[in-house]
Amino acid sequence: MSKCLICNEEIYPFISFGRMPIANGFLTKDQFNNEYFFELKVGFCPNCTMVQLAEIVNREKMFHKDYAFFSSTSAFMGLHFQKFAEMVIKKYLQSPDPLVVEIGSNDGILLQHFAKHGIRHLGIEPSANVAQIARDKGIHTICEFFDQKIAHKIVEEYGQVDVFLAANVMCHIPYLHSVVEGIRILLKPKGIVIFEDPYLGDIIEKISYDQIYDEHAFYFTLTSISYLFSLYDLEVVDVQVQNVHGGSMRYFIAHRGVYPISLAVAVQKEKEYQLSLQKPSTFDTFRRKIEQSRYELMSLLYDLKQQGKRVVGYAATSKSTTIINYCGITQDILEYISDTTPIKQGKYSPGAHIPIRPYDDFKANYPDYALLFGWNHAEEIMTKEQPFRAAGGKWIVYVPKVQVIE
């Protein structure tokens, strides 16, 4: 039995994806016999509504000196973070010599815009390889896991912060109580916290169950986030929907009573209520839809294999690890996976050990079908890959439904 990481009540486990490897654990042949597995199981807390993993993977197994995810691999995300920074600079940096802190700053995709303007900033990034890329760009970065202890150190060394940022990081941290207490300590009386993460409402609506993997310890809603921060006298003052990573939510949070609360907060809470995100039965329906989606995808892939078609994977995303291992996709179905990240190339996919090949291989010899594991970047990728379509290539996507795009 698992207890809720937020309120300590018993959680309701609604699906197990079975034995799973580390989502970003791309490996070499000599590591095949030494691979780490855990049970990927998700639960809903009927008390505080937080959706979370029932088994948590040790953070050092996921975030280390050879971390395989580099934020700057998507041009569209580059633009997204540029606009994010411009909004923060315009609206929240009015005090003299303000300080911006970002956790999970990765290769500096967001902080570079503050550094460029000479704004005082600090990145906190535990994965040493990506942290070093940020430093090479002149971004002030410390290589640590953020928590309450680090927050104290930052206050001592730099003072309190005007703006605390996180993108696709908060949902990665199982010890959120320490993080939120750290934020409370760190934030100036009029400071603002802005963070975004994939939104549970979208995951359920689009059946994008591949967002579920070891790194994503939590699947947030405004309701669950409001509950957590209220325990620390912090409140959500605004929310904004973001069209990245398949549907994300950006939360604006401040010390209680400091800022007026936007109408968007009440509207979004009501939407969540209407979507029944507070009801266990919603998650039973979600499980049935996941099983149906797996069935449809595998039927299609087996069909194409019987017709002798060549199918390759496009983008060795973290998400693909869940799809491949849960659905049972093997190398006789998927020839290889094309990816632009140098440290993934020449390695094998976690669990199923499908070869990861450089993007040039894809361009040099188009397959009949490409299974789009980077569906969240569909617009960017399909625009870039018009020659593939022109050559008769077809896309297979599975979010929001399994289909072939001719």
Query: Contact with ligand JHZ (CB under 6 A): which of 319, 324, 352, 397?
Result: 319
CA dist 285 and 293 (Å) reads 12
248-255/187-198 β-pairing = antiparallel
Burial class, 258, CB count within 10 angstroms (exposed 0-12 / middle 13-18 / buried 19+): middle
Q: Which does 74 bind (CB under 5 to 8 A by kind): ligand SAH, ligand JHZ, none?
A: ligand JHZ
Query: Contact with ligand JHZ (CB under 6 A): which of 339, 345, 348, 399?
Result: 339
Of residues 6 through 65, those in contact with ligand SAH by CB under 6 A are 63
Q: Compute CA distances 225 → 167, 286, 345, 401, whole Å.
A: 15, 21, 37, 29
Query: Contact with ligand JHZ (CB under 6 A): which of 31, 129, 262, 341?
Result: 341
* Residue 172 sits in the site that holds ligand SAH (CB under 6 A): yes
Which listed range, 90-98, 142-150, 266-274, 370-378, lies at the site for ligand JHZ (CB under 6 A)? 370-378
Burial class, 331, CB count within 10 angstroms (exposed 0-12 / middle 13-18 / buried 19+): middle
Q: Closest-CB residue for ligand JHZ?
A: 317
For ligand JHZ, the closer CB: 99 or 169: 169
* Residue 380 sits in the site that holds ligand JHZ (CB under 6 A): yes
* Residue 336 sits in the site that holds ligand SAH (CB under 6 A): no
Q: Which does 16 bind (CB under 5 to 8 A by kind): ligand JHZ, ligand SAH, none?
A: none
Residue from 273, 274, 374, 361 nearest 315 by CA: 374
For ligand JHZ, the closer CB: 125 or 339: 339
Residue from 169, 277, 286 nearest 217 by CA: 169
For ligand JHZ, the closer CB: 211 or 226: 211
3-state secondary structure of 156: helix
Assigned token pair, 81: 């973070």
Shortest distance (Å) from residue 91 CB to ligand JHZ? 24
Q: Compute CA distances 145 → 101, 106, 126, 162, whole Å.
A: 13, 12, 5, 20
Q: Which does 315 bind (CB under 5 to 8 A by kind): ligand JHZ, ligand SAH, none?
A: ligand JHZ
Q: Closest-CB residue for ligand SAH?
A: 104
Other Cβ atoms within 10 Å of 386 Cβ, number = 9
Q: Which does 188 bind (CB under 5 to 8 A by kind): ligand JHZ, ligand SAH, none?
A: none
Edge-to-edge strand list for the sheet holding 369-372 = 356-358, 337-339, 311-314, 369-372, 394-397, 403-405
* Residue 169 sits in the site that holds ligand SAH (CB under 6 A): yes
Q: What is the DSSP string of 4-19?
A: -TTT-SBPEEEEEEEE
| Binding-site size, ligand JHZ (CB under 6 A) | 21
For ligand JHZ, the closer CB: 188 or 216: 216
Alpha helices for 206-279 (secondary structure H): 222-230, 263-274
Name the residues that contact ligand SAH, by CB under 6 A.
63, 67, 69, 71, 103-104, 106, 109, 124-127, 130, 145-146, 167-169, 172-173
